[in-house]
Amino acid sequence: MYVAPWDMPPGARREWRPVLSPGSDCIVVGRAHLAESPPIVLYMDIFHELCHVIQRHGGANLWAPGVSYVKRWTEVEAYRFVVEEGRMLGVSDEFLRDYLRVEWISEDEHRELLERLEVPPV
């Protein structure tokens, strides 16, 4: 799930061809993610992406090159929002650790993200 960029991001990989939505806001959701993910994951992902829409309306570049994913203020802010929301809903730290483990970051980056978001490591 992601907010569709208005233009092709400079760091887009060949194997990822994002949907572009020039001048409009569009959240793209994979069919399998929508069909197979637990409702709480979809809920958190949708709110994460809505946070990005708000950021973009405030002038943020969601696709700024040269900054690690786990150090981008836009990602940290969006994840912080959903971690707080998840905690209010009673999700466990174990769930949050798993939720924050995304395929495009390393184990070291995952630990860094956990630290930034004050989610205790295992």
Q: What is the pLDDT of residues 22-60, one digit of tens each?
A: 989 999 999 999 999 999 999 999 999 999 999 999 999
What would the 3-class secondary structure string for the chain be? CEECCCCCCCCCCCCCCCCCCCCCCCEECCHHHHHHCCHHHHHHHHHHHHHHHHHHHCCCCCCCCCCCHHHCHHHHHHHHHHHHHHHHCCCCHHHHHHHCCCCCCCHHHHHHHHHHCCCCCC
Q: What is the pLDDT of residues 66-121, one digit of tens each?
A: 888 899 999 999 999 999 999 999 999 999 999 999 988 999 999 999 999 999 99
In terms of residues, how long is the chain? 122
Predicted model pTM? 0.90
